[in-house]
Amino acid sequence: MTNTELPYAADAEVSLSYDELEVLRLQYEKELSQAHITVQTKFNFAWGLVKSPMREHQVEGVRLLQDIYRAEPNRRRECLYYLALGYYKMGNFEDAKRFNALLLDKEPSNLQAQSLSSLIDKSVAREGYIGMALVGGAAAVGTLLLAGLIRRARK
């Protein structure tokens, strides 16, 4: 790693094993059945879900983190990174960027958030290139079809 590289936002690609996530899920469900879920248990389960490669897990993890973010003002800062990560993994780059920016406003030197910001920017650019390629391809096909119709009309 050169001096200009940021530490990689490893959470973007590293997920928990099935057994590790299962431990968190069982604890969450146990507390849910007792009608008292601690904020830490809810956060731990949300964290594990957001790290999952499965979209439905990510969606549920983000939902739980949003609940904590709204209900527990003293826990908002620790939710920001994982909310940004969850939205990033789901391909919602606008919300990912928004939550990551909130974290960077509070902690400008947070290297994980800086790294995640770079990943988000690269994904937005890649999505833009794909969009331009699709539009360009559609325009080329449209031009060919139009040229074919004009040729037929002339005959």
**CA-closest candidate to residue 55, choices 113, 15, 101, 8:** 15
For residues 61 and 49, is the Cβ–Cβ distance under 8 A? yes
Mean pLDDT value of segment 1-6? 42
pTM exceeding the 0.75 threshold for the entire prediction: no
What pLDDT shows up at residue 138? 62
What's the first-to-final CA gap in the chain, in angstroms?
65
Those residues whose C-beta lies under 8 Å from the C-beta of residue 66, and which sit 6 or more positions away, are 79, 83
What pLDDT shows up at residue 125? 78
Q: Nearest 10 degrees: CA dihedral of 16, 18, 20, 25?
A: 110
- CA atoms in the 13 A half-sphere facing the CB of 36: 1
What pLDDT shows up at residue 134? 53
What pLDDT shows up at residue 6? 42
**CA-closest candidate to residue 47, choices 63, 57, 32, 61:** 61
**CA-closest candidate to residue 23, choices 46, 45, 4, 1:** 45
The tens digit of pLDDT for each residue in 14-73 reads 889 999 999 999 999 999 999 999 999 999 999 999 999 999 999 999 999 999 999 999
For residues 37 and 27, is the Cβ–Cβ distance under 8 A? no
Percent of the chain predicted with pLDDT > 70: 77
- CA atoms in the 13 A half-sphere facing the CB of 135: 6
Query: pLDDT at residue 144 above 60?
Result: yes
If DSSP codes are grouped into helix, strand and coil, which group holds residue 37? coil
What pLDDT shows up at residue 151? 75
